[in-house]
């Protein structure tokens, strides 16, 4: 698999050749012509990965996954942070920087970086394995460089950047009012309107190219953190560099097709959701945005020096860690087999990049089979006209006497009173103001929602608050003013969020209340203006009536055309009952603008034959499961 247009070595050679021959008319290697695939360290190592763990995973990618098109191995965030006692994702002053304020790998964790070598040796080993090397970087400049007020390197002339008769420094470009909101002590935006700010960014990316980096995941610049000027500047720098580098944006909380349209041509992939973890609600959350970007023709649209792909995030399968806990892999994935199938089927029908997140040293046989399933990989790379078609299917619970509903939209709960949800929104959203300190007879104190919009007869919605259990002085500084929120009447369970999910409040869903841990997605802080911010996502909680869930149909379907004229139909059952899902052959044909009237084929997860069908296709699909039909139609 993996269509390598030109390998890098040949590339630089041909570039020279072409330069000579055609006087500057160069043909660059085209990037991301297919949705990129690979492995990323975040879901299994949070930030604490070291060189040995990384290279061991890379070797397994090379041995077992490369032949299936998985070619990038990516070190996720904070590779420059010293792993000392109590170091966490938002610690201040623990990063390793060079004299120009650029981050360099922590030499304790990345031994080969010593002596100013950065990631050169790691990249070389990765290249020798036949793979490509990626790193994660944050927005702008580190707080550490800002505080040290390091001079800026002039990446063109070398030496310190001088303009108007003076040397420019970190404090001339850092914007303290534009810190990354979920890493306030880590990073801030820089002023890209100043030549010094642009020089700083160029000095970073030039260094990554010198290290041999092939892929950059740029975090805290997209979605709710959008910094379009930085994205544009980095994209321009990458365009001018000789080394082809895939440019990926993260995270994708509150991304809309409109926002995607602003960036797709500047990058090669961009997240369309917040972080995805191994929870059913997280899997389910991807359906609407995937449908919307497909409908907006953003899948495989023009990108930086090639194409661009809406990215549904890594696959948190196999052997994992927990978000924000600063520890390595220690537990199995919580999705059941049906939910895993649904996840990878949706990812492939929407042609998402596939980045495996589990520790490959402990991958189980079933997971390996799933992520190397040839049909899934074929669809993900080579299908066309991918689109959601939920409006033309219908479903019926198996065992219920309901008639087949005319379509799948579920209106259940729509107007039921008292159904409220906590949702996460930007802290700048005025509707998120409404949290106050409540009083109760316990000493703990409460946080209550009272924004004046509630009706009189409703009792206020409150959560008990408790200081996180701290073990050291450093932690008490880091967590000052922050707290856990406990579900009422449960001393043991804390409100937790990954950025994707809605938290049902009046009847707090059991899945949102989990055993209390010192995990940043369980840590909250009340701002003076009455917003309640979550430390992991930097987003604020607001309480609202659950919207009519017309977009939340219980059955979903996607369709696509294969390379050899095969028709792929994926039927997803998002509800908790097994169901029959039906689609008329004519409606499928119409959805693709084709004229077929009869189909035959196979359901790939069960291996069962789909007998020749002329009118109504009907398939039984289990709870949270999906059917993936490969059909020949005429
Ligand atoms: C399917 O995709 C091809 C290639 O992108 C395009 O030319 C064609 O118009 C699409 N067909 C439909 C029905 O959208
Ligand atoms: C509330 O305060 C926080 C922290 O100071 C700020 O980031 C946010 O924008 C404010 N939100 C509103 C709606 O005023």
- In CATH, what number is assigned to the domain containing residue 519? 2.80.10
What's the CA angle centered on 363, arms 248 and 558, to 5 degrees?
Answer: 55
Output the pLDDT for position 576: 86
Q: Which residues contact 349 (CB under 8 A, 6 or more apart)?
A: 379, 383, 386, 558, 560, 568, 570
The answer to whether residues 438 and 453 belong to one domain is yes
Asked if residue 26 belongs to a domain, the reply is no
Q: Residue 212, SS3? A: coil
Which of 299, 385, 566 has most ligand 1 atoms within 8 Å of CB, for mutation? Answer: 385
Tens-digit pLDDT profile for residues 288-301: 999 999 999 999 99
Residue 290 burial (CB count, 10 A): 25
Tens-digit pLDDT profile for residues 73-86: 999 999 999 999 88
531 lines ligand 2 (CB under 6 A): yes
pLDDT category of residue 200 using cuts at 50, 70 and 90: very high
Question: How far apart are the two ends of the chain, measured CA to CA in Å?
Answer: 29
Provide the whole-model pTM: 0.86
Q: Which residues contact 20 (CB under 8 A, 6 or more apart)?
A: none
Output the residue whose Cα is nearest ligand 1's atom 10.
Answer: 385
Output the pLDDT for position 20: 37
Q: Which of 200-214, 406-420, 570-584 has the highest mean pLDDT?
A: 200-214
Closest atom of ligand 2 relative to the 433 alpha carbon? 13
Output the residue whose Cα is nearest ligand 1's atom 2.
Answer: 385
Nearest of 538, 533, 536 to residue 520 by alpha carbon: 536
Output the pLDDT for position 143: 97
Does the pLDDT value for residue 409 go beyond 90? no
Asked if residue 27 belongs to a domain, the reply is no
The answer to whether residues 377 and 405 belong to one domain is no
Ligand nearest to C-alpha 592: 1
Tens-digit pLDDT profile for residues 301-311: 999 999 999 99
pLDDT category of residue 253 using cuts at 50, 70 and 90: confident
Asked if residue 446 belongs to a domain, the reply is yes
Q: What is the mean pLDDT of residues 380-401?
A: 86
Residue 160 burial (CB count, 10 A): 16
Output the pLDDT for position 26: 53
Output the pLDDT for position 412: 39
Asked if residue 624 belongs to a domain, the reply is yes
How many independent structural domains does the chain possess?
A: 3
The answer to whether residues 301 and 241 belong to one domain is yes
Tens-digit pLDDT profile for residues 84-112: 988 999 899 999 999 999 999 999 999 99
CB of 467 closer than 8 Å to CB of 524: no
CATH code of the domain in which 310 resides: 3.20.20.70
The residue ranking higher by pLDDT, 463 or 33, is 33
The residue ranking higher by pLDDT, 235 or 505, is 235
pLDDT category of residue 544 using cuts at 50, 70 and 90: confident
Does the pLDDT value for residue 28 go beyond 80? no
Output the pLDDT for position 486: 85
Q: What is the mean pLDDT of residues 586-605?
A: 96
Q: Could you tell me what percentage of the chain is helix, strand and coil, using 3-state DSSP and rounding each to the nearest 5?
A: 30, 25, 45
- Cα–Cα distance measured from residue 289 to residue 297, given in angstroms and rounded to the nearest whole number: 13
The residue ranking higher by pLDDT, 170 or 463, is 170
The answer to whether residues 214 and 175 belong to one domain is yes
Kindly give the distance from the C-alpha atom of residue 393 to the centroid of ligand 1, in angstroms, as a whole number: 22
Closest atom of ligand 1 relative to the 384 alpha carbon? 2
Asked if residue 523 belongs to a domain, the reply is yes
Output the pLDDT for position 440: 63
- Cα–Cα distance measured from residue 333 to residue 317, given in angstroms and rounded to the nearest whole number: 5
Q: Which residues contact 126 (CB under 8 A, 6 or more apart)?
A: 55, 58, 73, 132, 133, 212
Does the pLDDT value for residue 18 go beyond 60? no
The answer to whether residues 259 and 405 belong to one domain is no
The answer to whether residues 223 and 133 belong to one domain is yes
Asked if residue 437 belongs to a domain, the reply is yes
The answer to whether residues 482 and 583 belong to one domain is no
Does the pLDDT value for residue 469 go beyond 50? yes
The answer to whether residues 399 and 338 belong to one domain is no
Does the pLDDT value for residue 614 go beyond 70? yes
The answer to whether residues 326 and 378 belong to one domain is yes
Kindly give the distance from the C-alpha atom of residue 159 to the centroid of ligand 1, in angstroms, as a whole number: 52
Asked if residue 209 belongs to a domain, the reply is yes
Closest atom of ligand 1 relative to the 594 alpha carbon? 13
466 lines ligand 2 (CB under 6 A): no
Asked if residue 49 belongs to a domain, the reply is yes
Rounded to the nearest integer, the mean pLDDT of the chain is 88
Q: Give the C-alpha distances (Å, rounded to integers) separating 137 from 21, 203, 483, 617.
A: 37, 14, 29, 48
The answer to whether residues 159 and 188 belong to one domain is yes
529 lines ligand 2 (CB under 6 A): yes
Q: What is the mean pLDDT of residues 471-477?
A: 70
Output b/e per residue, 168-179; b: 16+ Cβ within 10 A. bbbebbbbeebb
pLDDT category of residue 22 using cuts at 50, 70 and 90: very low
491 lines ligand 2 (CB under 6 A): no
Kindly give the distance from the C-alpha atom of residue 227 to the centroid of ligand 2, in angstroms, as a whole number: 18
Output the pLDDT for position 548: 47
The answer to whether residues 123 and 264 belong to one domain is yes
Does the pLDDT value for residue 506 go beyond 60? no
CB of 393 closer than 8 Å to CB of 554: no
Output the pLDDT for position 441: 59
Closest atom of ligand 2 relative to the 429 alpha carbon? 13
> Of the given ranges (3-12, 258-267, 489-498, 567-576), which has the lowest mean pLDDT?
3-12
Output the pLDDT for position 145: 98
Kindly give the distance from the C-alpha atom of residue 385 to the centroid of ligand 1, in angstroms, as a whole number: 6
Q: Which of 490, 518, 546 is the last residue of a domain?
A: 546
- Cα–Cα distance measured from residue 114 to residue 603, given in angstroms and rounded to the nearest whole number: 53
Output the residue whose Cα is nearest ligand 2's atom 9.
Answer: 428
Kindly give the distance from the C-alpha atom of residue 455 to the centroid of ligand 2, in angstroms, as a whole number: 26
User: Residue 581 pairs with which residues in a beta bridge?
Assistant: 395, 619
Q: Which of 316-325, 333-342, 553-562 has the highest mean pLDDT?
A: 333-342
Nearest of 547, 453, 450 to residue 502 by alpha carbon: 547
Ligand nearest to C-alpha 224: 2
The answer to whether residues 215 and 311 belong to one domain is yes
Q: Which of 382, 398, 431 is the last residue of a domain?
A: 382
Kindly give the distance from the C-alpha atom of residue 435 to the centroid of ligand 2, in angstroms, as a whole number: 12
433 lines ligand 2 (CB under 6 A): yes
Output the pLDDT for position 404: 44
- Cα–Cα distance measured from residue 133 to residue 54, given in angstroms and rounded to the nearest whole number: 11
CB of 174 closer than 8 Å to CB of 141: yes
pLDDT category of residue 587 using cuts at 50, 70 and 90: very high
Which of 180, 527, 532 has most ligand 2 atoms within 8 Å of CB, for mutation? Answer: 527
Output the pLDDT for position 438: 79
CB of 123 closer than 8 Å to CB of 211: yes
User: Which residues span the domain enclosing 103?
Assistant: 38-382
Closest atom of ligand 2 relative to the 530 alpha carbon? 1
Output the pLDDT for position 398: 78
Q: What is the mean pLDDT of residues 189-193?
A: 98
Does the pLDDT value for residue 63 go beyond 60? yes
Does the pLDDT value for residue 609 go beyond 90? yes
Does the pLDDT value for residue 215 go beyond 80? yes
The residue ranking higher by pLDDT, 161 or 547, is 161
Output the pLDDT for position 163: 95
Nearest of 435, 458, 459 to residue 447 by alpha carbon: 435
CATH code of the domain in which 628 resides: 2.60.40.1180
Q: What is the mean pLDDT of residues 447-468?
A: 73
Output b/e per residue, 594-622; b: 16+ Cβ within 10 A. eebeebebbbbbeeeebeebeeebebebb
């Amino acid at each position: 698999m993996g269509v390598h247009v030109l390998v890098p070595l040949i590339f630089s050679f041909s570039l020279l050749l072409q330069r000579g021959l055609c006087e500057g008319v160069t043909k660059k290697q085209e990037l991301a012509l297919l949705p990129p695939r690979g492995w990323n360290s975040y879901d299994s190592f949070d930030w604490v990965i070291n060189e040995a763990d990384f290279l061991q995973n890379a070797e397994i990618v090379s041995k077992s996954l490369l032949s299936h098109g998985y070619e990038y191995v990516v070190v996720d965030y904070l590779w420059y942070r010293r792993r000392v006692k109590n170091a966490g994702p938002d610690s201040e002053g623990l990063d390793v920087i060079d004299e120009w304020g650029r981050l360099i790998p922590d030499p304790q964790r990345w031994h080969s970086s010593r002596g100013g070598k950065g990631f050169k040796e790691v990249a070389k080993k990765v290249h020798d394995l036949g793979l490509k090397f990626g790193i994660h970087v944050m927005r702008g400049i580190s707080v550490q460089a800002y505080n040290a007020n390091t001079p800026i390197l002039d990446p063109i002339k070398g030496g310190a950047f001088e303009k108007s008769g003076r040397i420019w420094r970190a404090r001339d470009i850092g914007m303290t009012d534009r810190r990354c909101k979920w890493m306030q002590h880590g990073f801030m935006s820089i002023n890209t309107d100043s030549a010094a700010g642009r020089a700083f960014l160029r000095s970073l990316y030039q260094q990554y190219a010198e290290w041999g980096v092939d892929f950059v995941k740029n975090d805290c610049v997209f979605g709710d953190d959008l910094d379009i000027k930085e994205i544009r500047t980095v994209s321009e720098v990458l365009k001018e560099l000789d080394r082809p580098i895939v440019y990926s944006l993260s995270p994708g909380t509150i991304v809309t097709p409109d926002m995607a349209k602003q960036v797709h041509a500047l990058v090669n992939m961009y997240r369309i959701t917040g972080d995805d973890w191994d929870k059913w609600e997280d899997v389910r959350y991807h359906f609407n945005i995937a449908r919307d970007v497909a409908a907006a023709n953003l899948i495989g649209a023009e990108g930086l020096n090639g194409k661009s792909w809406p990215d549904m995030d890594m696959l948190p399968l196999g052997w994992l860690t927990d978000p924000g806990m600063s520890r390595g892999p220690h537990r199995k994935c919580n999705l059941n087999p049906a939910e895993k199938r649904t996840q990878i089927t949706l990812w492939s029908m929407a042609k998402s990049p596939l980045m495996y997140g589990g520790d490959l040293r402990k991958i189980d046989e079933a997971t390996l089979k799933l992520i190397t399933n040839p049909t899934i990989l074929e669809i993900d790379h080579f299908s066309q006209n991918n689109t959601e078609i939920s409006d033309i299917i219908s479903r019926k619970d198996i065992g219920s006497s309901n008639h087949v509903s005319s379509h799948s939209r579920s209106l259940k709960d729509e107007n039921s009173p008292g159904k409220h949800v906590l949702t996460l929104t930007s802290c700048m959203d005025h509707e998120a103001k409404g949290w106050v300190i409540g009083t109760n007879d316990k000493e703990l104190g409460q946080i209550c929602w009272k924004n004046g919009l509630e009706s009189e007869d409703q009792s206020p919605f409150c959560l008990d608050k408790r200081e996180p259990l701290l073990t050291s002085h450093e932690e008490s500084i880091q967590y000052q003013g922050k707290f856990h929120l406990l579900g009422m009447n449960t001393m043991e369970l804390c409100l937790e969020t990954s950025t994707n999910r809605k938290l049902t409040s009046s009847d707090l869903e059991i899945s949102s209340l989990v055993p209390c841990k010192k995990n940043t997605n369980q840590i909250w802080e009340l701002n003076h203006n009455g917003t309640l911010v979550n430390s992991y996502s930097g987003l604020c909680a607001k309480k609202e009536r659950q919207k009519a869930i017309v977009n939340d149909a219980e059955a979903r379907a996607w369709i696509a055309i294969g390379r050899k004229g095969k028709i792929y139909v994926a039927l997803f059952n998002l509800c908790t009952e097994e169901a029959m899902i039906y689609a008329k052959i004519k409606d499928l044909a119409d959805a693709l603008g084709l004229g077929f009237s009869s189909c035959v084929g196979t359901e790939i997860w069960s291996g069962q034959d789909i007998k020749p069908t002329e009118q109504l296709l009907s398939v039984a699909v289990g709870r949270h499961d999906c059917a993936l039909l490969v059909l020949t139609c005429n």
